[in-house]
Amino acid sequence: MPRPHTATATAATVTVTTVTDITAATDFTAATVAIPILSLSHPSHISHSSHISHPSRPVPPVPRRGSALKPKLKLKPKPMFTIGLDYGTNSVRALIVRCSDGEELATATCDYPTGSQGVLLDPGDHNLARQHPGDHLLGLEKSVRAALAAAKKHRDFDPRRVAAIGVDTTGSSPLPVDSANTPLALHPRHRRHPAAQCWLWKDHTAHREAALITTLAAKHRPRYLARCGNTYSSEWFWSKIWHCLNTAPRIYDAAHSWVELADWIPSVLAGIRDPAAIKRGICCAGHKALYADDWGGLPDKEFLALLDPRLAPLRDRLYQKARDATTPAGSLCPAWAGKLGLPPGIPIAIGEMDVHYGAIGSGIAEGTLVKVIGTSACDCAILPAQKTVPPIPGICGIVPGSILPGRLAIEAGQSAVGDIFKWWVETICARDPAHHRRLAAQVAAQKPGRSGLLALDWNNGNRTILVDQRLTGLLLGQTLHTTPAEIYRALIEATAFGARVILDHLRAHGVPIRRIVCAGGIAAKDPMLMQIYADVLGLPMHLAASTQACALGAAISAAVLARAHKDFPAAQRKMTRLQKTVYRPRPAARQTYDRLYALYRKLHDAFGGRDKTAGLATLMKDLLAIKETAA
C-alpha cells in the first residue's frame, strides 16, 4: 500500500512529504517524474548590483601645526560564502560555509522520496539499486532554499555574497541521458524502466560484465587493470553500461550518452544542454571509467569492441578530457539562479565523489588516511605527484588529481558498514532505528572476545582488497545463549577487521599512514564503534570537526575556485579542523583483537579465495579459547 514518507527535520532541514508506492521497484510518483531539468523560461530579471552615487566632497582643511590626523577607519571586508552540495545514498544536503574560516552557517537535508528510503530495489534481485533523477533535482532545490533561509538568520549573511557552489555525489552512479542532457527516466515512455534510472553506486547487477572486463583487459590491455587494482568492479562505469546493453537494449539505444551523477548535477546547474559540453571530473573518470591521459583518455574503441562491438561507438559520445578541481564545471545559469535565489554566473566547482571531497573537508595530507564511514566506508590517501607508485592490487585506483590537484590519490573501501548495522537492527531484529542506541549501550559493556563470535563483513560483497561483489556475509560461533547485542558487536568488529585488512595492505605496498581521520555520520555519532576501531587498528582515531565533511570539502573546492584562498592547502588550513576527542587503542583490548584478527584473516583468505589450503578445522575451538580467556 502507498504510505506517506516524511523526513524528520531540524530547524534548517527540509521536511518532504510524498506518497510513494514501494511495492514495485519501477513505480514512481507522478510528482517526482514531472520535475523538469531546467525551466526554459527565464525568471524575472533581478539585479544584484548596487549603484552608489558619491556626491562632491569638500576638500578637508589642512591640519594646524602640532595637530594630529585622525586615523582612517578600516572597513571590514564583507565575508564570502560558498555552498557545498552532498548527494548521499538516501538524501541530499546543502551546507553554507563562510570562506574565511570554514564557519558552517546552515545546513538542510532533503530525503529522496522515491522507492525505499530513496533507493529503487527489486525484491527478486538483491543486486539492483537505482535512484530516480527527479529526486536529485527535487533535493537540489529544496535543500539549497532551506539552507539559505536558515543562513539568513545570521547577521552577516547575504545570499548575494555566495561566491561559488561545489557538488559531491556517490559514485560510480551513472545515468543515461538523451542528446539534450535529459535523463531517460524523465521521459514518460521510459520513466518506469529500471535501466533508465541512475545506477546507484551499490548496484551490483553487472558482476558478470565486470568479470569479463577483468579477463579481457588482463589479456589485451593489462595497463588498464594495473591502474585500478587488477580487478574491474561491478560497481563501476563500464560494467553498468555494458549490463544495460545486455539486459535492456531498448534503453541503451535510446541513450545518447551516459553521465556520472557527480558530473550531471553541475551540468544541470550550469544549464548545459549538450552532453558533449559537460566538464567531466577526473575523480569518477580515473577511478571508475578506466580513464588516463597516458593512453589517451577512455579505453580505446578496439578494446571496447572486444567487449561488445556496440559499445565502441559510444566512446565518441562520452568525453575526450577529464579535469581536476582547478577547472570549473561551469557557471550558474539564470534559470537555476532564479530557482535557488542565488546570483547568476557564480562558478560551479568540478564534481567529485563524496569521499574525495570528504577527504579534503577532513584536512587530508600526506601520511593521513581519511576514513568516511557511512552506509559503506571509503578510505583515501594522497602521495606526491612525482612519486613513482607501483600498482597496488585490490584497490580502487591511483589517480593524479582526483582529490587534491598536484597529488596522487589512492582510494579503497568497504561495500557495507552502516548498511550492515541497519540490516541487523531494522530487518532481522525488526526494531526501530532508535534500537541502535539501546544495543550500543549493551555492546559497550561487553569485553572484546567475550561473545565467542566472529563475522565476515561481506553482506554487500567485498570492495577492497578482494574486489568480489559475489561474496556474502558470515557469522561464526553462535550458541543457544548468543544475544542480539553480541551479534551486533561482532558485526561492528567485522567491519573494523575489514578496515584493518585495507590498512595493512596499503602499508605493505609502501603507502605511509601515520594517523587516521574519520568522518561521516557514524564516526560522529558512535563513540563505542570508534573505540573498537582504535583497538582493532592500533592507531589513534581522530575525528573531523565537521559532521558534514563531504559537503564541506565541496564548499572548500568552491572557495578556491572563487579565489577566497590561493590554493587547496591554504583553504584547508583556514576551513578545516579536528575535534579534540581522540580515540586511542587500549593495550588489553588490542591484544585480544590481535588474536581475533588472525582468525578473521584465516576466514577472509579462505572464503575470499586467496588461500585455498587454509586450515579452518580448529577455528571454532580457537574462538572458544579466546572467549574463555576474556571472561
pLDDT digits (tens, 9 = 90+) for 528-540: 999 999 999 999 9
Residue 619 pLDDT level (bands cut at 50, 70, 90): confident
d(CA 447, CA 192): 50
d(CA 317, CA 625): 61
Is the pLDDT score of 595 beyond 70?
Answer: yes
* Residue range 68-97, pLDDT digits in tens: 555 565 667 789 999 999 999 999 999 999
Neighbours of 35 (CB within 10 A): 16
Question: Between these two residues, 14 and 399, which has the higher pLDDT value?
Answer: 399
* Residue range 408-420, pLDDT digits in tens: 999 999 999 999 9
Is the pLDDT score of 22 beyond 90?
Answer: no
For residue 492, which amino acid is it? I
Please compute the mean of the pLDDT values over residues 387-405 and round it to a whole number: 90
CB of 145 within 8 A of CB of 336?
no
Residue 61 pLDDT level (bands cut at 50, 70, 90): low
Give the pLDDT score at 2: 44
Give the pLDDT score at 467: 87
Is the pLDDT score of 10 beyond 80?
Answer: no
* Residue range 401-410, pLDDT digits in tens: 999 999 999 9
* Residue range 307-328, pLDDT digits in tens: 999 999 999 999 999 999 999 9
Is the pLDDT score of 52 beyond 90?
Answer: no
Q: Which of 75, 214, 102 is nearest to 564 (CA)?
A: 102
Mean pLDDT of the chain: 88
Is the pLDDT score of 486 beyond 50?
Answer: yes
Question: Between these two residues, 305 and 521, which has the higher pLDDT value?
Answer: 305
The beta strands (E) that lie in 481-540 are given as 515-519
Is the pLDDT score of 42 beyond 60?
Answer: no
The beta strands (E) that lie in 196-273 are given as 198-199, 257-260
Give the pLDDT score at 532: 96
Residue 441: strand, helix, or coil: helix
Instruction: Report helix angle 568-575 to 549-561, nearest 10.
Output: 130
Residues in CB range of 492: below 8 A, 6 or more apart:
421, 443, 528, 529, 532
Is the pLDDT score of 45 beyond 50?
Answer: no
- 246: cell is 545486455
Is the pLDDT score of 51 beyond 70?
Answer: no
* Residue range 190-243, pLDDT digits in tens: 999 999 999 999 999 999 999 999 999 999 999 999 988 899 999 999 999 999
Give the pLDDT score at 74: 63
Question: Between these two residues, 408 and 38, which has the higher pLDDT value?
Answer: 408
Give the pLDDT score at 388: 81
Give the pLDDT score at 441: 86
> Phi then psi for 241, rounded to 5 degrees?
-65, -45
CB of 455 within 8 A of CB of 473?
yes
Give the pLDDT score at 17: 30
d(CA 477, CA 403): 41
CB of 402 within 8 A of CB of 446?
no
Is the pLDDT score of 366 beyond 90?
Answer: yes
> Phi then psi for 183, rounded to 5 degrees?
-60, 140
What's the pTM value of the predicted model, to 2 decimals? 0.84
Give the pLDDT score at 470: 86
* Residue range 188-204, pLDDT digits in tens: 999 999 999 999 999 99
CB of 420 within 8 A of CB of 374?
no
For residue 312, which amino acid is it? A
Is the pLDDT score of 165 beyond 50?
Answer: yes
Report the 3 state secondary structure along 278-297. CCEEHHHHHHHCCCEHHHCE
Q: Which of 97, 561, 599, 568 is nearest to 359 (CA)?
A: 568
Please compute the mean of the pLDDT values over residues 463-485 and round it to a whole number: 92
CB of 192 within 8 A of CB of 374?
no
Give the pLDDT score at 492: 96
Please compute the mean of the pLDDT values over residues 538-560 and round it to a whole number: 96
